């Protein structure tokens, strides 16, 4: 018999309950109505309208040129294909220049794009912004570890938090962001042991990408997990289409493996 929880809308509260029960959830990027519907049918709980759309949809070299209008357009496309999944949208580069601007652009993503959660890249230094959005009723996911919008500062996409001081900054940042009102955290490209430490010590669900198996949820760029993104495949990506042979089967296998804890495996993580 299907559980009522399987048809009720996914919310930040239901993800928190899932974490409390020790459950895991699946998140994938989606940029249009067709993929939103397919992913949801496969059991994906969180649809991320990522600013990765700048690279995989628009063919740009980085996510930096993506505008809030681009994000609203793709978010609204995803919202038309969604029935119960939670829609999370990225605040694009420099939309967080001031807390006020983050509030205004985040509100546009919700009002015009239909987003439910706004994702903001940054560590503890974003606490004031997260606090303002949270106090105004906007759920926030704080994206720590590797922050692709800082690609030029970082000189690429290196693993973060490997030395003790950098790891301490991530742990401390996660704590401050939760205190400021973040509803979710996302950890990108950090050692698996560090992600485990953060996930077990914060009250909110933590979504990992290249962060080992011990986060509460996992996310990948959907074209990466279908093996159709041109260029070199990052270590944390698995090609589920090659394994399964069709897109619906690949999406279902991803959800199944994330929930069972068999994806990501040790070969997809960092030390
Ligand atoms: O933009 C995006 O797709 C993301 C994921 C890589 C986490 O932020």
122-152 tens-digit pLDDT: 999 999 999 999 999 999 999 999 999 999 9
CA 126 – CA 99 distance, rounded (Å):
9
| 85 and 47 Cβ atoms separated by less than 8 Å | yes
CA 223 – CA 184 distance, rounded (Å):
24
Report whether pLDDT(3) > 70.
no
Shortest-distance atom of ligand 1 to CA 186: 7
95-119 tens-digit pLDDT: 999 999 999 999 999 999 999 999 9
CA 271 – CA 255 distance, rounded (Å):
25
| 159 and 189 Cβ atoms separated by less than 8 Å | yes
Name the superfamily (CATH) of residues 4-268: Phosphoenolpyruvate-binding domains (3.20.20.60)
How far apart are the CA of 231 and the centre of ligand 1, in A? 17
How far apart are the CA of 61 and the centre of ligand 1, in A? 14
Q: Which helix (H) or strand (E) holds 99?
A: helix 99-111
| For the chain, domain boundaries | 4-268
DSSP structure class, residue 50: -
Ligand 1 contact, 90 CB (< 6 A): yes
Task: Place 257 in a pLDDT band, splitting at 50, 70 and 90.
Answer: very high
3-state secondary structure of 238: coil
DSSP structure class, residue 96: T
Residues in the chain: 271
Ligand 1 contact, 221 CB (< 6 A): yes
Specify the pLDDT at position 113: 98
How far apart are the CA of 51 and the centre of ligand 1, in A? 6
Q: Among 27, 209, 233, 235, say which to mutate for ligand 1: greatest number of ligand atoms within 8 Å of CB.
A: 209
CA 248 – CA 239 distance, rounded (Å):
13
| 131 and 181 Cβ atoms separated by less than 8 Å | yes
């Amino acid at each position: 018999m299907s559980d009522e929880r399987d048809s009720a809308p996914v919310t930040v509260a239901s993800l928190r309950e899932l974490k409390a029960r020790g459950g895991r959830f699946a998140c994938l990027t989606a940029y249009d109505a067709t993929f939103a519907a397919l992913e949801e049918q496969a059991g994906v709980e969180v649809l991320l309208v990522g600013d990765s759309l700048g690279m995989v949809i628009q063919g740009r070299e980085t996510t930096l040129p993506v505008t809030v209008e681009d994000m609203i357009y793709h978010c609204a496309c995803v919202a038309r294909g969604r029935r119960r999944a939670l829609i999370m949208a990225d605040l694009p580069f420099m939309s967080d220049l001031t807390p006020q601007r983050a509030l205004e652009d985040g509100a546009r993503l919700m009002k015009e794009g239909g987003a439910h959660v706004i994702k903001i890249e940054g560590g503890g230094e974003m606490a004031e912004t997260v606090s303002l959005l949270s106090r105004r009723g906007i759920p926030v996911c704080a994206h720590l570890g590797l922050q692709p919008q800082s690609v030029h500062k970082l000189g690429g996409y290196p693993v973060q938090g490997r030395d003790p001081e950098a790891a301490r900054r991530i742990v401390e940042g996660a704590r401050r962001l939760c205190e400021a009102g973040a509803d979710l955290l996302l950890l990108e490209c950090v050692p698996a042991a560090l992600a485990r430490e953060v996930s077990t010590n914060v009250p909110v669900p933590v979504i990992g990408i290249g962060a080992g198996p011990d986060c509460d949820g996992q996310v990948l760029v959907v074209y990466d997990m279908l093996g159709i993104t041109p260029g070199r495949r990052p270590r944390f990506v698995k090609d589920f289409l090659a394994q399964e042979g069709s897109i619906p089967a690949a999406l279902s296998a991803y959800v199944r493996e994330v929930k069972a804890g068999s994806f990501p495996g040790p070969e997809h993580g960092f030390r």
